[in-house]
Structure 1
């Protein structure tokens, strides 16, 4: 079914799309798909071919590959926005990273598509661009951080990159959730590095590492004599991080009494040192992280609901390593390259060894994989990590924790069944209303559909 090019087109004219991609087959494919939908499409295989087209006619939408031979699509994005400020731009690449997504968004891109392109996803973006003819470019950033340690090109990680890119330029508090070892601090650092505060301090603190009184002293500071051993006055991390970002890891480990004091700081943007009657104004962006279910802690009275809403203006949920197993080869080679650089070694890993790694369970997530790669590299008899060496590590791990690998699938199955029954129960309570059910479960409607697909729940039918 063709699309008539309606809402975004001017005066009934066809919606004009420019494709800039050095891969001729992708250019032909995009041209065919867009033409079939009723759009007018011009294709350029280089920056040199694209520039004359931009001077020759106006485009409502441009689909730009980030890597254009020797040229950089992100740099061309700046030129395109200068020539045609109202043109909506969508960046495309097979090599997604938090930097490229953030630079795309900061440069004024409407969206970011990961290759291989999916027709439904592509057309959804095109239709959205058509519905908003006037692009609203975000102010470009002057500088960007060096490549971060966040590695992954899976769809779930692309969602994380998009969230980082959108939230980083704002002042909103962000709650980062995910199991231990998923990279919560790396995401927090990426948010800081792509924010206007990037020239100021990023201060991480693990709230679970300190008793309550010491945590208060670390964060709020203290005056001389405030407690035994306080021989001098000392500014806390809030004051030391003024103008920057404070990352509160394991926020779920704090006590309700501490949470009251933290809530006051978040609300009033001022702190009072222990032993002082004077309030000190602070300008600090707060990022928090947890590997616990805060909703459950709120219900049990262990976490304040008002603080939760203050900290979770935006929530970024990180996938476990098993949820993005397709990233394991990329991660394994990344960690090995880093090991080689630090140790002046030239260790490689063979493809069969990577396949074994991909088949394993990873309760410790990315951190566990990193540690295993380093151990394998240290003890590798040759300059290549083999499948046999990975199998030996796998067997040793199973022996160290009896039943780990064998029971992983059984345990996973039990947890999935519990999750399935809970979703079915909420759907019954909501009388099949999927939006209401998603709200009751505390997830987005899209996430409900994803879970339903994974757990074989028929959202269209009437399950008991």
Structure 2
């Protein structure tokens, strides 16, 4: 293969693990070998493999239990199961559950490598040129496992002409993701046209999207192309599509079904070739139930759904984002604010962020504009957060935040040692790993000398330090 495939190998047999590692590395693959399912789940987010090869019978979590966890958190990641206890029922069960391949030991080396290469092709993005891997998502800064999983699916969907619905809270970066998908798609050389459906009056929406003919209404002094035609060959981004008037939804559905639009006042339709990415902060399932959104339009738009996690679920990204926004504010305002005081960063890490990334950006710009020292103090951050901090969270949100902070403190105290943290919590290690996955926490980030490479995204030295200080 021209590019190495990143493979996560899971086997509690040291000799076989070493043999398989050598065989796969000799074939040109990059291999990370671990001894158990729990360890595999801990390194998945860092290593970002395109394929997992796992033994079936292992102490603790077995291969199928590991597969179930991977399928839940990384549904697009192929898994190959190896076993010396092979049987037809095992193979049938594994394949019915979605395991990519099932090999019984002893197996032929060529058979394994062939299966690995087929699974690697399914895994996707790594075989793309490295510049493209970096460029398509260059503006999305993250080390969050949850967001990385969304990006993985976004990249796979980008290669197709499938319509995509991005459904998440306001301020999470829906247009940023839509632009990234466009850059990763075969349409990247053609236009990306964005329109906010909630910002256009209902009477003008048809003309704005479909265009109009001269004289079709007062003020139509010439023919005008609509945004569908402007985006021909490229991508049309319909932001806040959930706010589109019900009367216009039927017209949009017809345009998507027929691949053509008729400008207002025109006698003929115009063929258009667009890929539609739509986005909304509304719950469209509920909107359909309430009769406010057409089910047939929903299914046309919602072929692939991507859900961006809110900022409160990707706290590890706050230092990266805050320092990026600070650098941008410095460049615009010709200032030289160098960073945030530790207690200022801790305030940001513990805030609820109802406005998500947009709110964080606004806060950083405000603090940078008012800062008279080299380091942003906590007082400026607290001032900007005052309204949010004065609002009591719901009981469920408060309990969830407490659980997350409790787990973070345990990992900080034990320096990422899961066994020690589980003992302190009075939980079995397997159960403790489930809690970490639930709150998307990675124990490796709390170790003083990590052995895995630093995730992309950069950031200041404080951004690196804060990983072990999240509260």
TM-score (norm 2): 0.63
Distance change >3 Å, CA 337–CA 208, structure 1 → 2: same
Distance change >3 Å, CA 133–CA 94, structure 1 → 2: closer
Preserved contact between residue 193 and residue 236 of structure 2 (Cα < 8 Å) = yes
Preserved contact between residue 164 and residue 304 of structure 2 (Cα < 8 Å) = yes
Aligned pairs for 1:113-262 (under 5 A) are 120=66, 125=79, 127=81, 131=102, 132-135=115-118, 137=121, 144=132, 145=135, 148-262=138-252
**1:357 to 2:340 alignment:** no
Equivalent-residue separation in structure 2 for 1:379 and 1:388 (angstroms): 11
What is the SS of the residue equivalent to 2:154?
helix
Which residue is 1:308 aligned to?
Answer: 298
Preserved contact between residue 366 and residue 384 of structure 2 (Cα < 8 Å) = no
| TM-aligned CA deviation for residue 373 of structure 1 | 0.5
| TM-aligned CA deviation for residue 246 of structure 1 | 0.2
**1:390 to 2:358 alignment:** no
Matched positions, count: 339
Preserved contact between residue 19 and residue 41 of structure 1 (Cα < 8 Å) = no
**1:63 to 2:48 alignment:** no
Which residue is 2:91 aligned to?
Answer: none
| TM-aligned CA deviation for residue 218 of structure 1 | 0.9
| TM-aligned CA deviation for residue 174 of structure 1 | 0.3
| TM-aligned CA deviation for residue 318 of structure 1 | 1.2
Match of 2:393 among 408, 413, 418: 408
Aligned pairs for 1:80-99 (under 5 A) are none
Equivalent-residue separation in structure 1 for 2:216 and 2:11 (angstroms): 70
Which deviates the most, 152-161 or 263-272?
152-161
Q: Tell me the C-alpha RMSD between the 2 structures.
A: 3.8
Distance change >3 Å, CA 62–CA 129, structure 1 → 2: farther
| TM-aligned CA deviation for residue 151 of structure 1 | 1.7
| TM-aligned CA deviation for residue 196 of structure 1 | 0.4
| TM-aligned CA deviation for residue 223 of structure 1 | 0.2
For 1:408-454, what per-residue CA distance to the aligned partner results, in whole angstroms no more than 9, with x for missing partners? 244846999xxxxxxxxxxxxxxxxxxxxxxxxxxxxxxxx99x978
Distance change >3 Å, CA 269–CA 326, structure 1 → 2: same
Equivalent-residue separation in structure 1 for 2:392 and 2:362 (angstroms): 22
Aligned pairs for 1:429-444 (under 5 A) are none
Which residue is 1:336 aligned to?
Answer: 326
TM-score (norm 1): 0.64
For 1:295-349, what per-residue CA distance to the aligned partner results, in whole angstroms no more than 9, with x for missing partners? 1111111110000000000000111111222221221112112222333332121
Distance change >3 Å, CA 345–CA 64, structure 1 → 2: farther
Which residue is 2:357 aligned to?
Answer: 366
Aligned pairs for 1:294-305 (under 5 A) are 294-305=284-295
Distance change >3 Å, CA 414–CA 214, structure 1 → 2: farther
For 1:124-156, what per-residue CA distance to the aligned partner results, in whole angstroms no more than 9, with x for missing partners? 645356544441636965662365322221221
Aligned pairs for 1:33-48 (under 5 A) are 35-36=13-14, 38-41=16-19
For 1:167-203, what per-residue CA distance to the aligned partner results, in whole angstroms no more than 9, with x for missing partners? 1111100000011101110110111010000111111
Query: Where in structure 1 are there 5+ consecutive unaligned residues?
Result: 1-17, 22-29, 45-49, 66-91, 112-117, 399-403, 417-448, 455-464
Query: Where in structure 2 are there 5+ consecutive unaligned residues?
Result: 34-42, 53-60, 71-78, 82-98, 103-114, 402-433, 440-471
For 1:24-66, what per-residue CA distance to the aligned partner results, in whole angstroms no more than 9, with x for missing partners? xxxxxx889564494444769xxxxx9xx96xx447x64379x
Preserved contact between residue 136 and residue 184 of structure 2 (Cα < 8 Å) = no
Equivalent-residue separation in structure 1 for 2:160 and 2:362 (angstroms): 35
Match of 1:290 among 269, 280, 286: 280
- RCO higher in 1 or 2 (8 Å CA, sep ≥ 6)? 2
